[in-house]
Structure 1
C-alpha cells in the first residue's frame, strides 16, 4: 500500500469526501493583494515555526506578497487561548488583536455560534472536502495528523509502542503531553486517544477512560507536568512527549541526531485530528486575512504544510492531479501506521472536551505548565 492510498483511506473514515458545492466568483487576487498592502499587516497567533512547517509557510507568504508585515502573537498558545484573544480584543485594532486563528476542530463551530468569526470562501473552496468545512464558509479544515510518541532514544532504552506501556515502571518521570489538557486541543486529543486505547466506545467513555489512564500514569510516577516541547525532550526533562505526528517528526528532524529520537504511532489506538482555519469577526486587517487564507489553500500553501509533515486538507485533490512531489511522499511515515486511524466528529470532540477540561484537575491532579 502506498502512502497516497493510505491517506485516501484514512480521509474516508471521517467521510472527508468532496461533494458538489455551490459555485462562486473567482477571487481577484491582485485586487485583494492591493487591499491587503493598504492594510500593511497580518496578525497571526499560535503558530510555532516548527508546527506543521509554519516557519516556511509564513516565509512563503511574505515572499509572495511583499509589503505585508506578519505580526506573530504568542506562538505557544493553545486553541482556547486563541479564542480568548479574539474575545479580549473585540474593540482593539492594535497589535494584540489576531486576524486569523488555527484551532482544533471543535473550536470552529463554537466560535461561529459565539459570533467570533466571519465567513470567507477561498478560490479553491470546491476542492476542500464537504465534511471538513462549514457550509457557509465560517471555518474550514486545514490539515490533519495522528497522535504519536516522540521518544529520546538516548535516554529511553526501550521505546513504548502502545498507550498501555506508558504506565510501566520503565518510564518513571518520562511521559509528558505537548500542551495543557485544560486548554490545548493537542493535549485534549491525547487524552481522548488514550481512552480509545482503553476500550472506549463513545466520546464520553473516551474522555473518562482517558482521564483515568492519565491518572494512573500520574499515580505511577511516570507523568511529568511540563508542556513537552522539542527543547524539553532534548534536555531530558520530558524524554517521551505525546504530540501530533507532524510536530514529532519536525522536532526529530531538528535534532539532526543529537539527541537520537524516534517517532512511534501507538499500536493500540490511532487517533486523527483535523485543525481548522477561520478569520476573526473583528479582524483589524480583513483583506490581509483573506489573502492569507488564499495562500494557505493554494497548491503552494498546501504543499508547504505537507513539507512540515501535515496532511493538507486538499491532499486527495492534489494527489489525484499529480501535484504531490514523490520526495514529499517518501519523507512521510509508513502507510500502515495510518490504516486504522479514527476521526472523531465535532460532536464527539465537544463532548470529550467538556469532560476532559472540567475533570482533569480532580481525576489526574497534575498542574501542567
Structure 2
C-alpha cells in the first residue's frame, strides 16, 4: 500500500494536467534560455529565481522591465515574431491579456493549492504572490506623530500623495481601487476614489512623481501608494529607519501578480518551467525574501516572517470579487484619471 501511495504522489508530480513535467524540463534545457518582461532582479526578489534556474537547469535569462499594459501590448504586437517568453502582470490585467488572445495556458503541478479567486479556470494565469496596497511614508518629511494611517488621515493631512501611472501600471491602478474599497466603492464604482483624489488635486496634493525607489531615495515622495512588498524592499534598500510602510486601516486592496506565458513564445517550455519553479517551495520562499506574500500556504523561515508587516494590519484588506467589472473599469481608468483628477492638479 505504501508503494502504491508513493507511486501516486510521484505521478501527480510528473503529470501536470496532461503534460509530462519531465519532458518539459528536458525541452526547457535544450531551449537554454527564457526571456522575460516585467520581472527585473529587484522586484520581489526575482534574482534568486533566475539564478536558481541557471544553476539547476542551465537556463539563461534576460529581462526587459515594463508595465503590465506594455507587456500585453508587446506580446500582441510582436505575435509570431516574439522576443519575450513570459511576463509578470497585475491581477487586474490578467483577464485583459486572455481576451487579447496573447496567453498560453499552463496549470503547473501546484494547481490545486491555488485559491479559486487567484487563478483562471483554464490556467492562462494564476497568482504567484499577493500584494496589498500600502502607504510608504518618508519620515524625514513627515513627523512620526503626523503619519497618516488611513485614507481618512491622509485626506485630512497636508501631505502630497504619489500614485504613479494610473491606467497603465497595475500598482497605480490598484491603488485607486484600494481607495474605492475604503470609501464605499467597488470594482464597478470607483467614483468615491475619484472624488477623493480630485479633492487632493485641488489642494495641490496629487504629485506627478512616481513612488519608485529612485524618487523615494531623492526625497521626492512624501506618501507613496505602493504594493507592500515593494515598499518593504525599497525601505530596506534605502534606509530602514527613514521610511515606514503600513496598511491603511480603513480598507485597501489585496491582489497580486501572475505570470503570463506568451502564446508565441520561442522558449515556451522554459517559460512553463519558470512558472512551475516560481510556485515551488523554493520559488515561493524567493518571493517572500523579496517581501511578497506567497500564494501557496508554505512554512516560511522565521527570519523572513519577522520582516513582514504584522498580520493584524491586513484585517480590512479585500480581494477583487468581480473581475469582469474591474476589467471594464480599468480600461477607462487612465482617461478618467486624466480628465477628472489631473486636470484639477495645481
CA apart distance, 1:187 = 0.7
**Contact 1:192 / 1:352 at 8 angstroms: preserved in 2?**
no
1:133-148 alignment runs, 5 A limit: 133-148=119-134
**Contact 1:152 / 1:262 at 8 angstroms: preserved in 2?**
yes
**Contact 1:151 / 1:159 at 8 angstroms: preserved in 2?**
yes
CA apart distance, 1:47 = 1.9
Change (3 A) 1:185 1:24: same
TM-score w.r.t. structure 2 length?
0.88
CA apart distance, 1:168 = 4.0
1:264 corresponds to which of 242, 246, 255: 246
**Contact 1:182 / 1:356 at 8 angstroms: preserved in 2?**
yes
Residues 9-29 of structure 1: CA distance to partner in whole angstroms, max 9, x if unpaired?
A: xxxxxxxxxxxxx99825655
CA apart distance, 1:209 = 1.7
Give the number of equivalent residue pairs.
329
Following the alignment from structure 2 to structure 1, what is the Cα–Cα distance between the partners of residues 337 and 89?
21
**Contact 2:14 / 2:21 at 8 angstroms: preserved in 1?**
no
2:34 corresponds to which of 29, 35, 42: 42
CA apart distance, 1:83 = 0.3
1:123-272 alignment runs, 5 A limit: 123-157=109-143, 158-168=146-156, 170-171=158-159, 174-177=160-163, 179-200=164-185, 202-205=186-189, 207-257=190-240, 260-272=242-254
Following the alignment from structure 1 to structure 2, what is the Cα–Cα distance between the partners of residues 342 and 30?
38
Residues 53-91 of structure 1: CA distance to partner in whole angstroms, max 9, x if unpaired?
A: 22223223222222x221211x2x211111001012113
Following the alignment from structure 1 to structure 2, what is the Cα–Cα distance between the partners of residues 103 and 180?
15
CA apart distance, 1:117 = 0.6
Residues 309-364 of structure 1: CA distance to partner in whole angstroms, max 9, x if unpaired?
A: 211111x2x2xxxx322222222111111122111121242243134223111101
1:365 has 2:342 as partner = yes
The answer for unaligned runs of 5 or more in structure 2 is: 1-11
CA apart distance, 1:132 = 1.9
1:337 has 2:301 as partner = no
Change (3 A) 1:312 1:89: same
Residues 36-62 of structure 1: CA distance to partner in whole angstroms, max 9, x if unpaired?
A: 232222111112333222222322322
2:287 corresponds to which of 281, 289, 305: 305
SS in 1 for 2:217: helix
Change (3 A) 1:367 1:325: farther
SS in 2 for 1:70: strand
Corresponding residue number in structure 1 for 2:331: 354
The answer for unaligned runs of 5 or more in structure 1 is: 1-21
Bigger mean CA deviation after superposition, 134-143 or 282-291: 134-143
CA apart distance, 1:98 = 1.7
Following the alignment from structure 2 to structure 1, what is the Cα–Cα distance between the partners of residues 96 and 13?
26
SS in 1 for 2:211: coil
CA apart distance, 1:212 = 1.8
Bigger mean CA deviation after superposition, 115-124 or 53-62: 53-62
State the 4+ residue runs in structure 1 displaced beyond 3 angstroms. 26-31
**Contact 2:134 / 2:245 at 8 angstroms: preserved in 1?**
yes
Following the alignment from structure 1 to structure 2, what is the Cα–Cα distance between the partners of residues 251 and 210?
26
1:289 has 2:266 as partner = no
1:54 corresponds to which of 46, 60, 85: 46
